[in-house]
């Protein structure tokens, strides 16, 4: 066993960094007592990863084998070696109690670490095929030598990365799109790798990039994306408007499909588009559009296959750029939004779903209502869902009348957020009570044929 350890060290003498990665394999069902290495300080041997490899025979219940990979700095390579030698010496001396027996007697083999051994996420998430995948790469440090070694790997295979490195005190992180074979073929790369993970929050990386680097990610997604055809189903976003020029949205959002629920009002408060460089509340509609079109954008970014979109977007502004709507106008503004889009050039020749991630806790008179109680706004949406049409009296856009004209009956599907739960002010009993009220209201609406989702 000491010879296996020495051989593993020998095979890594030419690595770029100042340490070795050694993998220890246990006997089936045995755990390796290495937890003390998890909290070791910099410059000391420490645990990189540990996972259980299940038994290959699925018909048996035999326990799996533990594989633990340790980083051993070159100046501390004797740390493990001494433990093995002490055990061997005590055994040769015929002692009854052998030093380090709890560790050594559970080890079945020692070998140099492979790329697979540096994977620290769930075993089933490891991309074992030879397709390109996004990897979260943790490098051993932030030195120029380490960066140069990794950059040589990137340039050798012409790989796409997330751009700048995210630096920490004792390591640095970057995303790279590569195959497992490319990692394994580069003999120098293992010397600068600390961990490999599945990207958990690609969006966080992209947000921190420069506009030039962000464009590379966007261009990659666009190169694999096929927008839906002109007569495809649409998702109509009722919010604060959508920034149509966004490169990920523009091919799926026609210019004449961006409208306002109050188009006749003077000033810029009700213009269909958000202001330039919109942020916070003014960017909410654009963010909802991305969610409605791509779903989890992380998946689109991390994938390497084609992205076929099955629907398009529409937008109607129901929130002013500045200030807030009068609660007594919520119903009429929502009704006006459906009328505006349905009577526009978009028409009703295709399936349409209304998406509204906008909520309120106010009655028409501005007072706070109790959970689950109907309002004029919820009643209007019920009626719109049921297919009632919209008429206006005295040409006043804010005064809508819901009618049951059978010739204008257009059932509508609304996807509406339930609101934000404030866990600081609500205990779990209140949340359960609120959920029951919502379910009761839903049951009533379904009984009367008024589908509200």
Residues 186 and 248 in one domain: no
Per the structure block, which two tokens stand in for 234? 């649409």
- pLDDT 10s digit of each residue in the chain, 453 long? 788 888 888 887 766 566 788 899 888 888 888 766 765 666 778 888 787 776 655 444 556 788 888 888 888 888 888 888 898 888 888 888 888 888 888 888 999 888 888 888 887 888 888 888 888 898 887 788 888 889 999 999 999 887 667 666 667 888 898 999 999 888 778 888 888 988 766 666 677 667 777 787 888 889 999 999 988 999 999 999 999 999 999 999 999 999 999 887 877 888 888 877 666 677 899 999 999 999 988 778 777 789 999 999 999 999 988 888 888 788 888 988 998 999 898 888 899 999 999 877 665 555 665 556 777 788 888 888 988 876 655 544 445 566 666 666 778 999 998 766 555 555 555 555 555 555 555 555 554 444 443
- Three-state DSSP state, 312: strand
Residues 336 and 223 in one domain: yes
Residue 319 domain flag: yes
Residues 195 and 271 in one domain: no
Residues 189 and 250 in one domain: no
Residues 107 and 136 in one domain: no
Residues 184 and 61 in one domain: no
What is the pLDDT, as a whole number, of residue 59? Answer: 47
Residue 380 domain flag: yes
Residues 42 and 156 in one domain: no
Q: Do β-strands 65-73 and 312-317 pair in parallel, antiparallel, or remain unpaired?
A: unpaired
Residue 349 domain flag: yes
382's enclosing H/E stretch is helix 376-386
Range of the domain at 365: 217-447
- Three-state DSSP state, 435: helix
Q: Of 70, 95, 113, which marks where a domain is finished?
A: 113
Residues 131 and 164 in one domain: yes
What's the number of domains the chain is made of? 3
Do 240 and 273 contact (CB within 8 A), yes or no?
no
Burial (CB < 10 A; 0-12, 13-18, 19+), residue 100, is middle
End-to-end alpha-carbon separation of the chain, Å? 64
Q: Of 158, 175, 200, which marks where a domain is finished?
A: 200
The pTM assigned to this predicted structure is 0.60
Do 281 and 239 contact (CB within 8 A), yes or no?
no
What is the pLDDT, as a whole number, of residue 227? Answer: 96
Residues 8 and 148 in one domain: no
Q: Of 200, 231, 259, which marks where a domain is finished?
A: 200
For residue 207, CA distances in Å to 203, 210, 307 come to 6, 8, 22
Residues 149 and 72 in one domain: no
> What is d(CA 330, CA 97) in angstroms, rounded to the nearest whole number?
80
Buried b / exposed e over 405-427, threshold 16 CB at 10 Å, is: eeeeeeebebebeeeeeeeeeee
Residues 145 and 182 in one domain: yes
Residues 324 and 429 in one domain: yes
Looking from the CA of 160 toward its CB, the CA atoms found within 13 Å total 17
């Amino acid at each position: 066993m000491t010879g296996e350890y020495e051989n593993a060290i020998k095979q890594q003498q030419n690595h770029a960094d100042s340490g070795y990665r050694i993998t220890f394999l246990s006997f089936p069902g045995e755990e390796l007592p290495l937890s003390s290495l998890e909290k070791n300080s910099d410059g000391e041997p420490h645990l990189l990863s540990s996972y259980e490899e299940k038994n290959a025979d699925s018909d048996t219940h035999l326990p799996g084998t533990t594989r633990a990979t340790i980083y051993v700095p070159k100046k501390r390579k004797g740390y493990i070696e001494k433990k093995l030698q002490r055990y061997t010496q005590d055994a040769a001396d015929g002692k009854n109690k052998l030093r380090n027996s709890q560790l050594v007697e559970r080890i079945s083999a020692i070998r140099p670490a492979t790329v697979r051994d540096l994977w620290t996420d769930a075993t089933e998430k490891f991309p074992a095929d030879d397709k390109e995948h996004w990897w979260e790469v943790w490098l051993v440090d932030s030195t120029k030598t380490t960066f140069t070694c990794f950059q040589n790997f990137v340039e050798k295979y012409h790989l796409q990365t997330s751009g700048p490195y995210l630096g920490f005190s004792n390591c640095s992180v970057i995303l790279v799109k590569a195959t497992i074979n490319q990692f394994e073929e580069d003999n120098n790369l293992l010397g600068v790798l600390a961990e490999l993970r599945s990207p958990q929050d690609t969006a966080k990386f992209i947000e921190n990039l420069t506009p030039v680097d962000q464009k590379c990610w966007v261009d990659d997604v666009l190169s694999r994306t096929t927008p839906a055809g002109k007569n495809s189903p649409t998702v109509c976003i009722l919010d604060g408007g959508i920034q149509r020029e966004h490169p990920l949205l523009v091919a799926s959002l026609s210019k004449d499909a961006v409208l306002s629920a109050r188009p006749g009002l003077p000033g810029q408060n009700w213009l269909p588009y958000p202001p330039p460089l919109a942020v916070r509340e003014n960017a909410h509609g654009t963010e909802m559009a991305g969610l409605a079109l791509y779903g989890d954008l992380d998946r689109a970014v991390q994938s390497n296959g084609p992205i076929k979109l099955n629907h398009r977007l529409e937008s109607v502004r129901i929130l002013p750029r500045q200030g807030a709507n009068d609660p007594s106008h919520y119903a009429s503004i929502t009704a006006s939004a459906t009328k505006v889009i349905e009577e526009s050039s978009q028409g009703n020749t295709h399936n349409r779903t209304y998406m509204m991630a906008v909520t309120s806790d106010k009655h028409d008179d501005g007072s706070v209502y109790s959970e689950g109680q109907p309002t004029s706004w919820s009643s209007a949406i019920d009626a719109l869902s049921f297919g009632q049409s919209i008429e206006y009296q005295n040409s006043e856009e804010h005064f809508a009348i819901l009618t049951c004209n059978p010739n204008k009956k257009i059932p509508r599907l609304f996807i509406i957020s339930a609101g934000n739960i404030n866990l600081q002010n609500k205990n779990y009993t209140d949340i359960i009570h609120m959920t029951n009220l919502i379910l009761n209201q839903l049951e009533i609406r379904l009984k009367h044929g008024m589908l509200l989702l």
